[in-house]
Amino acid sequence: MIKKLKISNKNQEFLAKVEELSGEIITKCDQCGICSGSCPMVPEMDITPSQMMRMVQLGESEVMESKAMWLCASCFACTVRCPRGLDLSRVAEALRQMKLRKAIDHIDIKKLPEDEMERLPQIALISGMRKFTG
């Protein structure tokens, strides 16, 4: 017997927005879990990459409150291994951008510790600000 999940309009809108921004067909994800197994940041995450994809598939915008999308290091380990050819790093980026484009920064760059500011190379500051500020 086939069970059908009915997703509300609001949720469908969220899914559509994420698909548009990421350019990925998120409904293709069959929840195999390879991404979660490859992700080096998974031990620190509150939800795994698979769970993140599932929440987006169901249009649950609460996924935007997760820590996971901010812990993504854009390393593309998931990308090269996904058997459906999906690029999760782009989904995570889309979720981050949906917050950042409202000019809501994820970190306060004026409050970075002084001793860190003395050590950090430009490459760290530039990439960090690109991912965490809008």
Partner 1 sequence: MPNKGKSSTKKKLDLKKIMDRIAEASKQVVSGVEEEKVENWVTIHVMGRAYEVPADLTILTAMEYAGYKFIRGVGCRQGFCGACSTLYRKKGEYKLQTGMACQTRVEDGMFLVQIPFTPAEKPSYDINDLNYDVNVLFRYYPELARCVSCNTCTKACPQDLEVMDYVQAAIKGNFEELAEESFDCIQCGLCAIRCPSEIVQYNVAQLGRRLYGRYDSPEPEHLKKRLEEIKEGKFDEEMEKVTKHSRKELEQMYAERKREEE
Partner 2 sequence: MKVPYYPGCTLKTKAKNFETSALAVAKKLGIELIELPRWNCCGTVYSLTDDDLIHHVAPIRNLIRVQEMNKNGLVENDHRLVTLCSMCFNTLKRSNIRVLENSDDLKKINDFMYLEEDYEGNVEVIHFLELIKDIGFEKIRENVTNPLEGLKIAPYYGCMLLRPKEVGIDDPEEPVIQAELLSALGAEVIDNPYKKVCCGSYQTIQDKQVVSNLAYDILMRAKDAGAEAITLSCPLCMFNLDSRQKEIKEEHPYFNEIPVFYFTQLMAIGFGLNEDSYGLDLNYVNPESLLLEKNLIRRNNAK
Question: Tokens 């929840």 sit at which residue?
Answer: 31
Closest CB to partner 1 among residues 25, 117: 117
C-alpha span between 87 and 35 (Å, rounded):
10
Q: Does 74 bind partner 1 (CB under 8 A)?
A: no
Residues 44 and 73: their CA atoms lie apart, in Å, by 12
Instruction: Based on the shown chain and the rule CB under 8 A, indicate whether residue 118 belongs to the binding site for partner 1.
Output: yes
The angle subtended at Cα 97 by Cα 24 and Cα 11, nearest 5°, is: 60
Q: Least separation, in Å, of the C-beta of 109 and partner 1?
A: 4
Give the N- to C-terminal CA distance of the chain in Å, as an integer: 47
Site string for partner 1, 81-110 (x = CB under 8 A): ----------------------------xx
Residues in CB range of 37: below 8 A, 6 or more apart: none
Q: Which is nearer to partner 1, 6 or 119 (CB)?
A: 119
- The nearer residue to partner 2, 4 or 111, going by C-beta atoms, is 111
- Point out which residues bind partner 2 (CB under 8 A): 20-23, 40-41, 43-44, 70-71, 73-77, 79-80, 87, 89-90, 93-94, 97, 106-107, 112, 116, 119-132
